[in-house]
Amino acid sequence: VTVLGYIQRGGSPTSFDTVLASRMGAFAVESLLEGKSAAMVCSLGGQVELCSFTEGRDAKKRLSPELLSLVEKLGV
């Protein structure tokens, strides 16, 4: 069976994706049970924690110069 959504997004989830999603989902439920809301779950430096929506929106995504060069060469 092929799941079209997986193909459109680049393939089936890896074990890393599954573990991260499980950790983030569990953390979200635990946070809600503790009365924490108005935030999103994020992964920072391998740690799962709550971040404000503003922090998530304004976060700078850093790409290495080597990766940017590769993207330019591949015409992505």
Q: What is the pLDDT of residues 23-74, one digit of tens each?
A: 999 999 999 999 999 999 999 888 999 999 988 788 877 778 898 898 888 8
**Domain of 42?**
4-74
* Predicted local confidence at residue 76, as pLDDT: 63
Q: Rounded to two decimals, what is the model's pTM?
A: 0.65
- Residue whose token pair is 């110069």: 65
Question: Rg of the chain's alpha carbons, rounded to an integer?
Answer: 16
HSE, CB side, 13 Å, CA atoms: give it for residue 65. Answer: 0
Comparing CA positions, the residue from 30, 62, 31, 29 lying closest to residue 44 is: 62
Number of residues in the chain: 76
Reply yes or no on whether the pLDDT at 4 is more than 80: no
Domain count across the chain: 1
Kindly state the helix (H) or strand (E) to which residue 6 belongs, with its residue range.
helix 4-8
Q: Domain with 43 in it: what CATH number?
A: 3.40.50.450
Instruction: Give the closest residue to 34 by CA, choosing from 50, 51, 55.
Output: 50
What is the structure's pLDDT at 6?
67
Average pLDDT of span 5-21: 81
